[in-house]
Amino acid sequence: MKTAEIAQRYLDYFEKNDHVIVPSASLVSNDPSILFTIAGMVPFIPYLNGLVPAPYARAADVQKCIRTLDIEEVGHTARHGTFFQMLGNWSFGDYFKEGAIGYAWELLTSAEADGGLGFAERDLWVTVYEDDDEAAALWKKIAGLPEERIQRMGKEDNYWHTGQPGPGGPCSEIYFDRGPAYGRDGGPAVDDSRFTEIWNLVFMQEQITNVRSKTDFDVVAPLPRKNIDTGMGLERVAFIKQGVENMYEIDQVRPVLDRAVDLSGRRYGAEHGDDVRFRVVADHVRSSLMLLSDGVTPSNEGRGYILRRLMRRTVRAMRLLGVDEPTFPELFTASRDAMKTAYPVVADDWTRISQYAFAEEQTFLRTLAAGSTILDLALDETKKAGKPALSGSEAFLLHDTYGFPIDLTFEVAQEAGLDVDRPAFDTLMQEQKARAKADARSRKRAIADQSVYREFRAQGETVFTGYTDLETSSRVLGILVDGLPAQQAVQGQIAEVILAETALYAESGGQVADKGMIVGPGYELDVLDVQRPVPGLVSHTVEVTQGEVGVGQPATTVVDAANRRSAAQAHSATHLVHAALRDTLGRTATQAGSLNRAGYLRFDFSWGQALSDATKSEIEEIANNAVRDNLEVSTRVLPLAEAKQLGAMALFGEKYGDTVRMVDIGGPWSRELCGGTHVATSAEVGVISLIGESSVGASNRRVEALVGQDAFRELTAERALVSQLTSALKTPRDQLAARVAELSANLKAAEKKIAAFEARALADRVPTLADGAARIGAFRVVAESLGVAASGDDARSLALQVRDRLGSEAAVVALGAEVKGRPVVVVATNEAARAAGARAGALAKVAAGILGGGGGGRDDVAQGGGTDVAALPDALRGVRTALETA
């Protein structure tokens, strides 16, 4: 049974049993405390905890998930994968334990011919929470399971909660017995390798608080509305139904593994280490494909960093399998073909997906080449120092800064006859992980108090009137001061104010929040920010500038009209620039993010190279021609499917409901899903002036532009500057560029002459400096100040020349100079001096310490610096003193 067929059978069964079929949410989580959708229940959390009223009583879905916490286990076990799919059925105050158990058992054990999954009853075991007599009795009643196949387990295994105050409850897990070849008999309590969990039924029935750990918390009271949250692992069911050994061998994953086998020339099943690498490749390629399909792009932070890590682990695994050349064109194509039946987007959006994937692999292959060079130098230094192992700090630097995998560091070091200080490396990694976990905990804490919005959200969604009105009368539903509910806020306080209606736009879709005021009887509030802390609810962060505001009082939101107009100009201009980019570069130049505020826009798009000046001018001209043509800007609210059928562009990372708002400018020329505010016709945008274009990643570019009055002021300032230049240079405007180029060339020629003169002047000092060498112990020493030098390189060059002139006798040269207002000391030693114990790096550190800075370098030549120019004589004396004791 194919994986997609299992999923379809699941959905068909629950649709037949009156469940609303909900499409998978994006892998990019709405919850700011987590990067990805890490479990099937994540999209339903607002409904499960009562924060947002559920739009249906019962639902079912197939949810895409990404979880990398156990990434090191991938390939080693039968069931660990970074991308997985959860089949879930949900009840929000509708059916409870009996219904959930009945549905699960019927679907699992019904014959395949009848639409079921065809599991033999004898192969299924269940666990229940140790005190849940009700669930145990229901399993006997509904499934007829004997007592010995219903095992009771504690909170660690069979009690569910989020880790935060809120809903919780016991759960019941269903296990499949893979047979005696996979381990001991006796059920999941004895061996969870032989007995594989396939379905977890969570019975949310209690309100918990004071959560100290997974097993240590306080139960406050029963929930007023009990919920059902279930999750069945699609990949686990698939590898059982397909009769293969693990999730990496199912039909959606195995093609990638097989392609990796072909590319490497090695056999799957021949060697455990290679098998793990093949499975890592199969898993990570699929995960990367699905993340890219949901709009995540490789980067050095957040979600992009996780994607980059998955892709680079794939490259590393293929390298360890003996493949050094690019493989993503083969591997990603195989994954696309395996996944497109279940997720057509991976084929429909293949051009963009493959562009990012292939570019990232090429970038990392270059990184590996550069990292290899750095590693080779580090290994050479380690050998010269007579050390047996590369330091953990150097290995960590390669890993953390350059992205060079630690196991490749081990491999190369072993080839060089050296070890790596793994304990020190592991310590640094643990410290980094601890910092990351602390950051994650702080994010979680920041969002943990969302429950304060539950009462407000229960009164309905905040009505936004700002598309048509700049003032709206409403009433104060609630006030939060320091994150806690309050009855009032007084003058001087910062507070959050929740209203029933608002004309103020909440930040979203790249458009910043409106500026404005909230006024009422006896009070005025300056609006500092407007956000949507939970879906459907708008919160205004305000400063009370006059009087005091209380819950229940009338309130009128007043939008800053000039700021709104300018922001609307910028947002409409963003749509025009997007359309112009696609006209110029083609359909693959899709939006990857944007920012719109009054008078300014920033637009990120998928593209792999810098735009030429001619291309930028063409984009700017097309956008401004659209302004000139006074195109109508129209909006429609319609079903999402209809909008997509009409060709509306959707922004990756944005979440869309069943009904969306579509913005047209000039009909289909610019057609996007957008909740932002816009002008009525394109002529109202005024002027669009591109002011910058830059890289924001291997496959992303960014354009910035000023809009409307801000663009006009920028162009006016440039005109004034050109006028000043033409006057100062006494050159006509049309000849200004040539005149500036001529002056620049003359300046460079003059600088070269000056540099040559200064170099000659320094070279003329070599004999004098060498002749003035003093005897300190076994060394001939030159320790002098040069005064002001153009650069540290000049001092370095002179020190090497003086050292060479002193011949083969042990010689040390230390030259100080003031470079751009800061002190620099360069130390050079010859071979005889080094043999006598003089090390340039150590001497440079001595000087730098006196100068109030740092320094070091090789034994033959090194440099130090600091902040105190007046201390240069003392620094040079410090070098002489160090030599006296050498």
**Hey, where are the domains in the chain?**
3-248, 254-443, 462-559, 564-716, 765-884
Tell me the percentage of the chain whose pLDDT exceeds 90: 60
**Residue type (1 letter), 350:** W
Tell the CATH superfamily of the 3-248 domain: Bira Bifunctional Protein; Domain 2 (3.30.930.10)
Contacts of 476 (CB under 8 A, 6+ apart): 497, 498, 499, 520, 549, 550, 551, 552, 553, 554, 555
Structure tokens at 765: 């000092």
Query: Dihedral angle at the C-alpha atoms of 383, 385, 387, 390, nearest 10 degrees?
Result: -70
**Residue 439: pLDDT above 60?**
no
Query: Between residues 326 and 374, which one has the greater pLDDT?
Result: 326
CA atoms within 13 A on the CB side of 260: 33
Q: Is the pLDDT of residue 447 over 70?
A: no
pLDDT value of residue 339: 96
Q: What is the mean pLDDT of residues 805-812?
A: 91
The per-residue pLDDT for range 587-627, each reduced to its tens digit, is 878 888 899 999 999 999 888 789 999 999 999 999 999 99
Q: Assess whether pLDDT exceeds 60 at residue 80.
A: yes
Residue of 477, 466, 539 whose CA lies nearest to 503: 466
Residues 436-445 have a mean pLDDT of 50
CB 688 within 8 A of CB 707: yes
Give me 637's structure tokens. Answer: 């609210």
Q: CA 157 from chain center: how many Å?
A: 31
Averaged over 328-337, what is the pLDDT?
Answer: 97
Mean pLDDT to the nearest integer, 541-566: 95
Query: Which residues are CB-neighbours of 22 under 8 A, at least 6 positions away?
Result: 43, 59, 60, 61
- Helix and strand tally (H, E) in the chain? 26, 35
The residues, any chain, with a CB within 8 Å of residue 86's CB and separated by 6 or more, are 39, 40, 62, 63, 65, 231, 232, 233, 234
Say what the pTM is. Answer: 0.68
471-481 and 700-707 strand pairing: unpaired
Read off the pLDDT band of 91 (50, 70, 90).
very high
pLDDT of residue 445: 40
3-state DSSP call for residue 785? strand
CA dihedral angle for residue 49, residue 53, residue 57, residue 61, rounded to 10 degrees = -70
Burial label for 696, CB within 10 Å (0-12, 13-18, 19+), is middle
pLDDT score of 32: 65
Task: Provide the token pair at 673.
Answer: 């899903």
Q: How far apart are the C-alpha atoms of 24 and 84, rounded to whole Å?
A: 12
**Please, which pLDDT band fits residue 402 given cuts at 50, 70 and 90?**
low
Average pLDDT in the chain: 89
Cα–Cα distance between 304 and 35 in angstroms, integer? 10
pLDDT at 682: 96
Measure the CA–CA gap between 711 and 578, rounded to whole angstroms: 18
Q: Tell me yes or no: is domain 765-884 CATH 3.10.310.40.
A: yes
pLDDT-derived band of residue 41, with 50, 70 and 90 as boundaries?
confident
Contact yes or no for 235/254 (Cβ under 8 A): no
DSSP string, 318-370: HHHTT--S--HHHHHHHHHHHHTTT-THHHHTHHHHHHHHHHHHHHHHHHHHH
Q: Is 540 labelled as part of a ligand binding site? A: no
- C-alpha 154/C-alpha 170 separation (Å) is 9
| Highest mean predicted confidence (pLDDT) among 43-57, 182-196, 249-263, 724-738 | 249-263
pLDDT tens, residue by residue, 640-687: 889 988 988 876 555 667 789 999 999 999 999 999 999 999 999 999
Q: Which CATH superfamily, name and number, covers 564-716?
A: Threonyl-trna Synthetase; Chain A, domain 2 (3.30.980.10)
Q: How far apart are the first and last CA of the chain?
A: 79
Percent of the chain, pLDDT > 70? Answer: 96
**Which own/partner pairs from 532-536 qualify as long-range (CB within 8 Å, at least 24 positions apart)?**
532/506, 532/508, 533/450, 533/453, 534/46, 534/51, 534/52, 534/450, 534/453, 534/457, 535/30, 535/46, 535/52, 536/52, 536/457, 536/460, 536/461, 536/462
Burial class (CB in 10 A: 0-12, 13-18, 19+), 758: middle
Beta carbons of 476 and 495 less than 8 angstroms apart: no
d(C-alpha 401, C-alpha 404), whole Å: 8
**Does residue 446 surpass a pLDDT of 50?**
no
Q: Is the pLDDT of residue 342 over 70?
A: yes
Identify the residue with better confidence: 401 or 237.
237
Where would I find the beta strands (DSSP E) of 733-778?
774-776
120-156 per-position pLDDT tens digit: 999 999 999 999 999 999 999 999 999 999 999 999 9
Task: Indicate the pairing of strand 20-22 with strand 633-639.
Answer: unpaired
DSSP secondary-structure letter at 698? Answer: T
**pLDDT number for residue 366:** 82
Query: Is residue 65 part of an annotated ligand binding site?
Result: no
pLDDT at residue 436 in the model: 60
CATH, range 462-559: 2.40.30.130
678 is in an annotated binding site: yes
pLDDT in tens, 684-705: 999 999 999 998 866 788 999 9
pLDDT tops 70 at residue 867: yes
> What pLDDT does 444 receive?
42
Q: Is 575 annotated as a binding residue?
A: yes
Residue 154: other Cβ atoms inside 10 A: 11
In the beta sheet, which residues pair with residue 815? Answer: 784, 826
The two structure tokens encoding residue 249: 């061998």
For 712, other C-beta atoms within 10 Å of its C-beta total 15
Q: What is the pLDDT of residue 443?
A: 42
